Amino acid sequence: GAGVSQSPSNKVTEKGKDVELRCDPISGHTALYWYRQSLGQGLEFLIYFQGNSAPDKSGLPSDRFSAERTGGSVSTLTIQRTQQEDSAVYLCASSLAGGLGSGNTIYFGEGSWLTVV
């Protein structure tokens, strides 16, 4: 597609339920990232994919969070047993290659707004 596409755009879920957030990166982009933006906070790095592998998942806040990427394209971020503190905007981004530099930057999707009640 023309840009990074994320779904759902908004999700309200009950505490303790599992949620899946989907990201469809820009066609041809090999690198994919997930960030989280909580109210009043800056964007927080979660995980980085190069192709289907995740060389850096150091930002995932707990083992309730997991992500996968298949076919070098679509990625899914899964949050199990959601808690209220998981409420945030989850932003996906992609770039042509993994190393940011001149001529290679990352492009963000519109995000998925998750509210845990």
Q: Give the DSSP letter of residue 84.
A: G
Show contacts with other proteins in window 45-74 (CB under 8 A).
Answer: 45, 48, 50, 56
Q: Is 31 in the site for other proteins (CB under 8 A)?
A: yes
Cα separation, 72 vs 63, in Å, equals 23
Pairing of strands 43-50, 53-56: antiparallel
Q: Return the structure tokens found at 8.
A: 């759902």
Q: Is 7 in the site for other proteins (CB under 8 A)?
A: no
What count of residues does the chain have? 117
Q: Give the DSSP letter of residue 29.
A: -
Minimum CB distance to other proteins smaller for 73 or for 95: 95
Q: Is 102 in the site for other proteins (CB under 8 A)?
A: yes
* Residues engaged in binding other proteins (CB under 8 A): 4, 31, 33, 35, 40-45, 48, 50, 56, 89, 91, 95, 98-102, 105-111, 113
